[in-house]
Amino acid sequence: MECSHYWGRGHENTRFDPENCIALCTYHHRFHWGHGDGRQEYTDFMRKRLGDRGFDLLDVRAHTYKKRDDKLDKIIIEQLIKELEQEV
């Protein structure tokens, strides 16, 4: 399994956004959805997963400049981990 970013890692604002990342097998990540001819299928999947509004908001976040803030990202990630641990 690999982490696939719908909007590539160069989009700093969505690099660690859970709505932008999904787990894909190597084939779908590297050869089909991520970099291959299945991009429209990937878009359709993400639109279904997030809904039209959620997908559009992700698109806006991906294309909005944000200065990278590693300290804030670390705090957010630690909080997400705590929430996931409570679910288990």
pLDDT per residue as tens digits for the range 13-42: 898 899 999 998 888 888 777 666 788 889
Q: Rounded to an integer, what distance in angstroms lies between the CA atom of residue 50 and that of residue 62?
A: 15
Chain centroid, CA 44 distance in Å: 14
Query: For residue 65, which of 20, 14, 13 has the smallest C-alpha distance?
Result: 13
pLDDT tens digits for range 53-88: 999 999 999 999 878 788 988 998 899 899 999 987
User: Is the pTM for the entire model greater than 0.85?
Assistant: no
Coil, helix or strand for 15? coil
